[in-house]
A = this chain, B = another copy of it.
């Protein structure tokens, strides 16, 4: 029985041969660079974990695992341009280390490469693999679009927020599991259950992420506390607080989010105080647990032997360790 840590190491071994060729250096070096920055490799691990769960050799999933990791890194390269982010995993982002045009073009060729890796599978499973993958890829773009649109909007509903995190984060996790399930050859019902398991785990993970950003211990998370607040991110904590607070507190919270020249530490402190007064953390924990329970019910429906269930349960914990 391979642990997730084993699977991660096995995948890292696969990456020792660079995914992209050595020629066209200004095209492929940036792609190999971002792939080499590490991270938790959660998506490829999920492809492997699905194969393990369905008692098939993890190795069958290698090309699909590379495909989802290449796709994820493509989205990071382009998102970092859009967010004007300078640093990714303590290193320079591609558009800073090279330039924006390079980041656009290298990102493009990464997306093509993700498809090319999937093309290595037999024609019997290829249509299913591509259908899940393309739908997911579109949804990830839709999620990124929603996230960008939310910055300009004052009327984001909690439902819309859940859609956004579902598309931007959860569906690619779900897709990774389903690709593994398709390669394992399981039926559509089991594919759907493992997909829904992954999707709901992903949503729970993102809500947890929101909580940690405000309430986490930065010595453990490695991220500065209050980052979302400083970026005026319309997270669940923010949107739900607006519902829970009195009118005057609500105005205060909106005022803090709209102010541009507030002292950062003081802004975090005041927003957190309003979050506390709304008891939104309790609501967030409840919502998170709801998605987690939903995930577990889909896991139960798979009716796997106990040791196989363990692999997928381990995923839930693995996701909580922050460093995605």
Residues in chain A within 8 A of chain B (CB atoms): 24, 26-27, 78, 81-82, 101, 104-105, 107-109, 111-113, 115-116, 119, 123-124, 126-127, 130-131, 134, 137-138, 141-142, 144-146, 148-149
Contact = CB atoms under 8 A, between A and B. Distances in A.
B24 A142 contact: yes
A24 B143 CA distance: 10
A138 B113 contact: yes
29 contacts: A24-B142, A24-B145, A24-B146, A26-B148, A26-B149, A27-B141, A78-B105, A78-B108, A81-B101, A105-B141, A105-B144, A105-B145, A107-B108, A109-B138, A109-B141, A111-B111, A111-B112, A112-B134, A112-B137, A112-B138, A113-B138, A115-B130, A116-B138, A119-B130, A119-B131, A119-B134, A126-B126, A126-B127, A130-B130
Contacts of A82: 101, 104-105
Contacts of A130: 115, 119, 126, 130
Contacts of A112: 111, 134, 137-138, 141
Given A134-B115, A141-B27, A104 B127 contact: no
A142 B149 CA distance: 33
A83 B142 CA distance: 26
